A and B are shown apart, each in its own frame.
Chain A
Amino acid sequence: MNAAVEALGFGIVTASILALASVGFTLQFGITNIFNLAFANVMGLAAFAAYSLDTWTNDIWLAVVVAVFVGAAVSLIVNRLLLQPFIRRGQGAFGMIIVTFAISLLIQYATVLVWGDGQVSYTIQQGVGGKRLLGFVFTPAQLVIVGGAVIAMGSMHLLLRHTKLGKAMRATAVNPALAGNCGIRTKRVVDVAWAVSGALAGAAGIAFGLDTASFSAYTHQGLLVLIVAAAVLGGIGQPYGAMAGALVIGISVELSALWINSAYNDVIAFAILGVILLVRPRGLFGGTFSTQEMSA
C-alpha cells in the first residue's frame, strides 16, 4: 500500500512534467499542423542552457527563467526561419515531419558538441528535505515542479479562454484562412503560439532535469514517446486533452512500475496509445480545437 502511494506521488510529478511538455507539443500541432519531432530536443537544449547558468551562478531560479526563455527563443527561431518557409514552399505533412526530424538532429548533436554526452546535474541538493503532503512525500524540487505545472496549466487556460490572444489562437487553429480574413494577424498568432510552446518545452526540460537527478544530452529525447502518447491520448492538437492525457500516462507509467520493470515505462505508454488508436483514433477529448478533423 505504501509503495502504491509513493508510486502515485511519483506519478503526479511525472504527470506534471509531461503536462508541460505535451501541452506545448499539442499546441504546435493544433495551431500549425506540425508534428514537431524536435520538441524533446528543444527541451534538452533548454535544460543544458539552464545547467550552464546554474553551475555559473548557483541560482536555480535564474536557471528556470533561462530555460523558459531559451526554449521560447529556439522554438520561435525554428518556426520562423525553417518551418514556415518550408510550409510556404508547399511542403506537405509528410515533408514537414522529415524537416522537423532534420531539425531535431541538428539541435540534438549541437547540444552534444557543446556540452558533450556525459551525465550532469543541477547544483541543488537532490532528495533532501522531503515534505509530507496529503500522504505523499515530495522533495522541494518536486513540489516546485508540481506547483509550476499547475500554475502553467492555469495560465494556459486563462490565456486560451479569457484573452483576445487566446481567442485568436483558437480561431487560427480551427481555420487560419477565415481567421486571417476576420482581421486576425495569424502570422503573429503563430509566432506567439510557438514561443509559448517553446517556453513550455523549456520549463518541461528543466523540470525533467531536476526530477531525474542527472541527465545527459540524450536523456530528454527518451521522453518523446510519453509526450506523444499523452498528446494523442487527449486528442492531438487539444490542450485540455493533453493535460488529461499527461495525467493518465504519467500516473499509469509510475504505478505500473510496481508490477513490472520500470525499464518498460514506454511500453505501458505505448500500450495505452495502441488501444486509443485502435478504438478512438481522435483521442479521448473534444476541446478547444475540437473542430479539427483528425482521422481521415
Chain B
Amino acid sequence: MSSAVQFYLAGVLVVAGVTIIASWGLDLQLGTTGVLNFGFVVFQAAGAYTTGVLTMGPASEHPGLSYIAGAHLPFIPALLAGTAVGGLVAVPIGLLGLRRLRADYQAIVFLVVSLIATDVVDNTRGFMNGAAGLSLVPQPFVSLLPVSPTGYLWAYSVITFVLVLVVWLVLRRVTESPLGRALRATREQEEAAAALGKNVNALRLLVFVIGGALAGLSGGLYVGYLGAWAPSGWLYPETFVFVTVIIVGGRGNKLGVLLGALIVPAFGEVSQFLPNSSSALFSGAIQWMFVGALLLVFLWWRPRGVIPEARRTFPAPASLPGIASRGISSATPGKQKFEGVSSE
C-alpha cells in the first residue's frame, strides 16, 4: 500500500475508534436507559478542550491564542482529566434537564444546552480562543512513537482501539449486571422500576455522568489526532451523527453500535466520489442529507437497527415454594421462560 493510502486508512481507524467510544456513551443513555441526550457533543467538546489546553502549555507560549488552564501535562493525565471534566460537566446539566419532565421535553432542554454552549464558547474569546478555537495541540506520545507520519498514525490508532477495548469491558460491567437491568427497567417502565425501589432519577443521572465521561474521553482522543478544536466542529447536528450511528447499528446493542460507527461514516465517504464533489459546500451538504436520509430509512424499515438488542429472557425459578404451598402451581415449572424487559 502506498503511504498515502495507509495514512488515510489509519486516520479513518482513529476516527472510527473515537466514534465508537462516543456512540457507546450515548447509547448507554439513549439506548439502554432511554435518556434522550441531544446535547451529547457538548461533553465530547468539554473533554477535547480540557485535554487540549492541558497539553498545550500556558497561553503565553502561543501568542495568537487565548485560553485558560494551560499546562504541560503528559497526554495520559490530560486525557484522564478530559474524561473527568466530561463527567463533571454532566452533573449540573443532568440536574437541570433530568427533572420530572416528559422525555421529549428533556431532549429539547439538552438540545438547547448544546446550542447555548456553542454560542457562549464561540463568543467568549478568552475562554477557549472563541470561534477560532484551539490549534497547535501537540501530538501525543510523539517522542515514544515512530517518527514517520504514517507509522505514528498506525500506532495512535492501535492506542485508540486499546481504549475501545477497555471501554467495552467497562460498559459490559454496567449493562450486563443488575445495574444494567435497572437501567433497562427505567427505560421500559419508569413507574414499575420506581415501585421496585429503584431511584430512577439517580440512575438517569448516573448514566448521564458515565456517558459524559466517555464523551470526554472520545473528545480527548480526537483532539490528540486532530491537533485542533473549534466550535464549528461541535455544532448540535454532530450529536445526531452519533444518534444515527446508534439507530443504524441497533440501540442498546454494543456490537450493533460498533457496526453503525463503521457504516455511517462510510456512507459519508461515498459522497466524496459523486460528481461535482470538488466543491466543499456541495459534498458537505450531501453528507448531511445522507445522514438525514439514513435516519429516515432506518427508522422506517429497520427501527431496531442492523443488530437489534437481544430480547432478554430469564429462566423461572425451579420451584416456587411460596406459591405452591398455597395450592397454585405453574404448569411446567422450571421450563417456562419469563419475558424480561425488552425494547418496545
Contact = CB atoms under 8 A, between A and B. Distances in A.
Contacts of A113: 282, 285-286
Interface string B7-39: 000000000000000000000000000101010
A102 interface: yes
A91 B102 contact: no
A98 B299 contact: yes
Contacts of A278: 96, 99
Interface in A237-262: 261
B315 to A, nearest CB: 30
Contacts of B111: 37
B116 A102 contact: no
Interface in B26-67: 34, 36, 38
B120 A101 contact: no
B340 interface: no
Given A98-B243, A106-B289, A296 B100 contact: yes
B119 A99 contact: no
Contacts of B107: 35, 94, 97
Contacts of B286: 109, 113
Interface stretch (B174-182, B205-213, B256-264, B290-298): B290-298
Interface residues of B, number: 42
B101 interface: yes
Nearest to A236: B105
Interface in B247-268: 247
Contact of A102 (B101, B103, B293): B293
B109 A277 contact: yes
A91 B292 CA distance: 17
A118 B111 CA distance: 26
B151 interface: no
A29 B116 CA distance: 23
B144 interface: no
Contact of B240 (A101, A224, A228, A273): A101
23 contacts: A35-B107, A91-B303, A94-B103, A95-B299, A97-B38, A98-B299, A99-B295, A101-B237, A101-B295, A103-B292, A109-B288, A113-B286, A116-B281, A225-B112, A225-B116, A228-B112, A270-B112, A277-B101, A281-B100, A295-B101, A296-B100, A296-B101, A296-B102
State the 9 A-B residue pairs at the shortest beta-carbon distance, nearest first.
A105-B292, A102-B295, A109-B285, A263-B123, A102-B292, A93-B104, A106-B292, A112-B285, A109-B288
